[in-house]
Amino acid sequence: MSGIRPTGFLHLGNYFGALRNYVRMQESYNCYFMVADLHALTTLKDTKELKGHVRRVLAENIASGLDPEKVAFYCQSHVPETAELYLLLNMLAYVGELEKTPTFKDKVRLQPMNVNAGLLTYPVLQAADILLHRATLVPVGKDQEQHLEMARNYANRFNQRYGEVFPEPYAFNFGEDLVKVPSLDGAGKMSKSENQLATLYLADDDDAIRKKISKAKTESGGAPGAPVPDSVANLFQLMRLVGGETAAYEAQFNEGTIRYGDMKKELAERMIAFITPIREKAEAIRNDEAYLRKVMDMGAEKARASAKVTLELAKEAIGLNYY
């Protein structure tokens, strides 16, 4: 189980942290993937943009290889059982621990005039999304590790207080470390809303990709044995993610002969070859309203069937059954 918020254009971080694994998992697991539209309400000011964002996220997931026939691919708000489980889990969540969550503190810093209760209880809603399907594997990027720990806490607290219903969910990347795709400015991660010039989007055209990569931060290097600075290591990482070799560039860095312009040119061309087919496919899907409606209906039906079973088990365990 996993999800992506419809708050803007999907980017390489979403792809390599999440989407790529959705596509790999759909072949051998029972999967639930969603567009987290209720989560988006914690930060989105203008809900007029929501419909466009939801369609974009649906289309970009499918263009990246997600098959709505193989998985349950749905919108969070189409599965109202999510809200019911969220309410039940809120009784097990402590305000003190929610206030200490680093992502909450970040959001408070970013939107000090809109510190709503939904923002505070974001990890509870996320736990509800996962536990709703009693999911055990959650394909996410590195930034989500702490939220998964909180989801495990809520599952365990529920089980201890009311009886065993939920398995423990874990972040999943096929046994490898979770991915963090760095931003091109050498600081932080790519993200939908921050550092837009340092983030590569699946909708970027060739010129935008070339421009952003040519402006990527680099630092002059390298004496033999000197550590590779983060900004340069980030470019090496991006090169490897899109199938490039970095051994020769790394050797040049160590010798102090690296020509960043050449490396950036190769990286840009590889990036264009990677992004273009996804962008073109997504564009066609995004404009096919009838198909997207079918996808959402089919996904909601599958997700609600699973959610209903879990909620019955949860209510039974709590004692919310009076007949």
Q: Which of residues 98-157 bind ligand ADP (CB under 6 A)?
A: 140-141, 143-144
What does the alpha-carbon distance between residue 108 and residue 106 come to, in Å, rounded to a whole number?
Answer: 5
Residue 204 neighbours by CB under 8 Å, 6+ apart: 212, 275, 279
- Count other Cβ atoms within 10 Å, centred on residue 189: 20
Q: Which of residues 29-88 bind ligand ADP (CB under 6 A)?
A: none
Site membership for ligand ADP, residue 263 (CB under 6 A): no
Among 53, 55, 107, 192, binds ligand ADP (CB under 6 A): 192
- Size of the chain, expressed as the number of residues it contains: 323
Q: What is the DSSP string of 13-33?
A: HHIIIIIHHHHHHTTTS--EE
Pick between residue 7 and residue 310 the one whose CB is nearest to ligand ADP.
Answer: 7
Q: What is the DSSP string of 200-254?
A: -BTT--HHHHHHHHHT--------TTPPPPHHHHHHHHHHHHTT---HHHHHHHH
Q: Which of residues 1-20 bind ligand ADP (CB under 6 A)?
A: 2, 4-5, 7, 13-14, 17-18
Distances (CA, A) of 277 to 12, 143, 204, 248, 281: 14, 27, 11, 28, 6
Site membership for ligand ADP, residue 190 (CB under 6 A): yes
Nearest distance, CB of residue 141 and ligand ADP, angstroms: 2
Dihedral class, residue 178 (left if φ above 0, else alpha if ψ from -120 to 50, else beta):
beta
Site membership for ligand ADP, residue 191 (CB under 6 A): yes
Residue numbers annotated as active site? 107, 189, 192
Of the candidate spans 73-81, 85-93, 184-192, 240-248, the one that interacts with ligand ADP by CB under 6 A turns out to be 184-192
3-state secondary structure of 74: strand
Nearest distance, CB of residue 17 and ligand ADP, angstroms: 2
Nearest distance, CB of residue 191 and ligand ADP, angstroms: 4
Among 66, 98, 131, 181, binds ligand ADP (CB under 6 A): 181
Nearest distance, CB of residue 167 and ligand ADP, angstroms: 20
- Footprint of ligand ADP on this chain (CB under 6 A)? 2, 4-5, 7, 13-14, 17-18, 140-141, 143-144, 179-181, 189-192
